[in-house]
Amino acid sequence: MANKEIKRIAVFTSGGDAPGMNAAIRATVRNAINNDLHVYGIMRGYEGMINGDIRRLETKDVGNIIHRGGTVLKTARSMRFMTPEGRKQAYENLMFNDIDALVAIGGNGTFTGASVFMQEYPDIPILGVPGTIDNDLFGTDFSIGFDTAVNTAVQAVDKIRDTADSHNRLFFVEVMGRDSGYIALHTAIAGGAGGVLLPEEESSLDDLVKLLKRSAKRAKLFSIVIVAEGNHMGTVYDIARHVEEKIDIYDDIKVSVIGHLQRGGSPSSFDRVLASVLGFTAVDALLEGKSGCMIGIKNNNAHYTPFKDAINNSKTFNKSLLRMAHILAQ
């Protein structure tokens, strides 16, 4: 397809929210206006695209949002967009508003939808911006929201450490990560945890018990184990119950699930800068004729990954970082 002139672009957020999405929206809008483009916001992702909930955005509309968590454009998971009829309605609404190109901020599901949509309607270029706290997208070192989510989890662990130390307790702290252990691994290292359980590593209850007993031998009177929700040993409550049956080192064993606290809150400075760079560069990339890919950051440089690769390829897990985490936990 020959590159067409782009005069109007639309930006939307889809799937799970992530701190920093607003910074990406802001950068997209302001760079679009800087390039004399009309820019529109689609409310509630693909669902809003189907409903025709599309509105013009000006510079003032994205003022005072860079520090806010969540997304001012709202988000949703759209079952209707998974159907040809839903995508057809979305396309007709884009045509009605004379939208020439899209900036899609989200994760795997968002890019899957974009990829299918482009196959059916190739006349609308789409650039993807990685926004997910899981940091599991292939083609980028970091995704928007990850750094903030880790900081939130570490702050919680620091507080839990105080009570664990005071009461000679073992705490199992569950963090988000159904399919990815990035949050858990970074939280464990930064929080000085005594162990970490991840989806990427096969581990057993016996291994965990040995680790905790080894720590107790050096008079460590409390411990914190970080558990990714998608680990292979079961729910955090099952793990705590099994460990309690195996060892009597601690006065008490507690479970703390941080949950959706990790999704909210003001984005870190790192996430604000990352989101600004990605949103800004997405507009430049569209004007340069790029489409059908996710823009990420690799080795501090912009990196473009086709949607099919971002969706289907697995991000290489840093095994050396995991090895370090295990050694430091001893």
Q: Which two tokens stand for residue 136?
A: 């599991």
Catalytic residue (choose from 17, 100, 134, 136): 134
Directed axis angle between helix 319-328 and helix 182-190, to 10°? 40
**271/248 Cα distance (integer angstroms):** 42
Sign of CA pseudo-dihedral 161, 147, 74, 138: negative
How buried is residue 326: exposed, middle or buried, by Cβ count under 10 Å (0-12/13-18/19+)? middle
- 134 catalytic? Reply is yes
Strand ordering across the sheet containing 301-306: 54-57, 38-42, 8-13, 101-106, 126-130, 293-298, 301-306
| Residues with catalytic function | 134
